[in-house]
Amino acid sequence: MMKPTYRLEDPDTEVYVGDCREVLNALPEKSVDLIFADPPFNWDVPYGEWDDSRPREEYLAFTHQWLDACLRVLNDHGSFWVNIPDDTAAEIVVHLKGRGLTLINWCIWHFRFGQHRNSNFIVSKVHALYFAKDRNNRIWVPEAVLEPSDRAAIYDDPRTRRTKRPGQRVPLDVWYGPLWGRIQGNNKERRKQHHNQIPEVYLERVIRACSYEGQLVLDPFLGSGTTCTVARALRRRSIGIEYSSRSALSAFERIQSGPVRLGPATSQTNSFMAHRKRGI
């Protein structure tokens, strides 16, 4: 049996160093409640041991292999999230639909500091694809991720106070806001020598919405450790897999220190407009 390289208890948190395809194949079938995957995009990023500049066909074959390995460990009420840019989103959707999964939401993570360019529009988003094995029998906890509605935040409309969830709503499928930027520069969350680190609020929303305390969350591409760090703080068990031993050690240190920003994700308005008086 494969053993994790790093391990913590209460709640169980395991980090494996290795190729996620091999580690996933060694885990029990249908044992995981929620998978969040943020794979290498094949954009020639220096991830250490992993070659992130492969021929397209090889990258696609790798993509299909890790997707299938994830499906094997996901249980029947499980959710499967994939964070992926424009160039491979369509292929992932087609593959997973072909395997019988339902696309529940095609969310967009929108950020303002895209890389400047003149050849085409500046990229300011990544796709957050949310799939489930069974639409009608999945873990879905909207109450855990409510945010102020625009109607309440902008107009203070009294009608919003008479609803089932006064002044609140389930978040939109486009995610943005003050805490939702790319983790760069002197951002408090930033972990040095990591690339494409995802904000904690993003994982907080995914984990709160699609799992309960004590359930098992898995990230096949752990990177700086965002998923397991947030999962542990939210009292979920978790498994992270990372190819680079240096990154895995850094992720484990971060998991032990805990998140920087847990909490505000569910209570912030992300309205485009400031609060106004009614009737204006």
Cα–Cα distance for residue pair 46/145, rounded to 1 Å: 34
Residues 246-275, mask of contacts with ligand SAM (x by CB under 6 A): -x----------------------------
Between CA 182 and CA 160 the distance in angstroms is: 32
Beta-carbon count within 10 A of 87 CB: 12
Task: Count residues binding ligand SAM (CB under 6 A).
Answer: 21
DSSP state letters, 94-154: HHHHHTT-EEEEEEEEE-S-PPP-SSSPPP-EEEEEEEES-TTSS---GGGG-EE-HHHHH
Could you tell me whether strands 168-169 and 174-175 are parallel, antiparallel, or unpaired per DSSP bridges? Answer: unpaired
CB of 241 to ligand SAM, least distance (A): 5
Closer residue to ligand SAM in complex, CB, 58/76: 58
Instruction: Quote the least distance from Cβ 57 to ligand SAM, whole Å.
Output: 17
Q: How far is the CB of 38 from ligand SAM (least distance, A)?
A: 4
Asked if residue 229 binds ligand SAM (CB under 6 A), the reply is no
The total of other beta-carbon atoms located within 10 Å of residue 211's CB is 25
Site for ligand SAM contains 50 (CB under 6 A): yes
CA distance linking residue 265 with residue 246, whole number of Å? 29
Task: Note whether 242 binds ligand SAM by CB under 6 A.
Answer: yes
Rounded distance between C-alpha atoms, residue 42 and residue 198, angstroms? 17
Query: Of 216 and 248, which has the nearer Cβ to ligand SAM?
Result: 248
Q: Does 212 bind ligand SAM (CB under 6 A)?
A: no
Cis peptide before 46 (omega within 30 of 0): no
Q: Does 88 bind ligand SAM (CB under 6 A)?
A: no
Which residues on neighbouring strands pair with residue 34, listed in sequence order?
79, 217
Q: Which listed range, 44-52, 126-134, 145-153, 155-163, lies at the site for ligand SAM (CB under 6 A)?
A: 44-52
Q: Does 20 bind ligand SAM (CB under 6 A)?
A: yes
Q: Which of 63, 168, 244, 250 binds ligand SAM (CB under 6 A)?
A: 244
- Is 111 among the residues that bind ligand SAM (CB under 6 A)? no
Report the residue number, 197 or 238, with the smaller CB distance to ligand SAM: 197
- Using the structure block, give the residue that is written with the tokens 């031993």: 245
Which residues make up the interface to ligand SAM (CB under 6 A)?
19-20, 38, 40, 47-48, 50, 194, 196-198, 220-221, 223-224, 226, 241-244, 247
